[in-house]
Amino acid sequence: MATRRVNTSAAKTPLNEDDTTLSPDVKSNISPAVPASVIYKLLGFTFAMITFPIGSYFLSVNLLFGGNSTYAGGLAALVANVVLIGYVVVAFNDDKSEREAAIEEEKKSR
């Protein structure tokens, strides 16, 4: 079997390379990649996705459906889909408002 030989003294690793592209005058961007409001919405919908279907199952299995777990499971699946659709709608509206704000800012800069 043939092996590939690499001259390690000539090859520079990212740790050995000189970092001449960054100058001390340039400030680095340390802002978060995702806004905090998006994270809070995701955490809220994650909590809802866990608790609402399970809660609806256990509340409805005896109170609403008289012990029939099939209907209670169907209701839990329906509640999970409602939470998921709600998240998608909120995410689309949030993205739409961000795009509109960017367009308005672009118009102001002209």
What are the sequence ranges of the domains in the chain?
36-109
**Which phi-psi region, left, alpha or beta, contains residue 26 (left: φ > 0; alpha: ψ -120 to 50)?**
beta
- Give CA–CA dist 21/4, Å, rounded: 32
Segments in 18-68 forming alpha helices (H): 36-63
C-alpha 47/C-alpha 83 separation (Å) is: 10
- The string of pLDDT tens digits covering residues 19-40 is 555 566 777 777 778 888 899 9
d(CA 86, CA 45): 9
**The pLDDT of residue 5 is above 80:** no
**Prediction pTM value:** 0.65
> Does the pLDDT value for residue 97 go beyond 90?
no
Q: How far is CA 18 from CA 7, 9, 27, 61, 100, in A?
A: 19, 15, 19, 66, 42
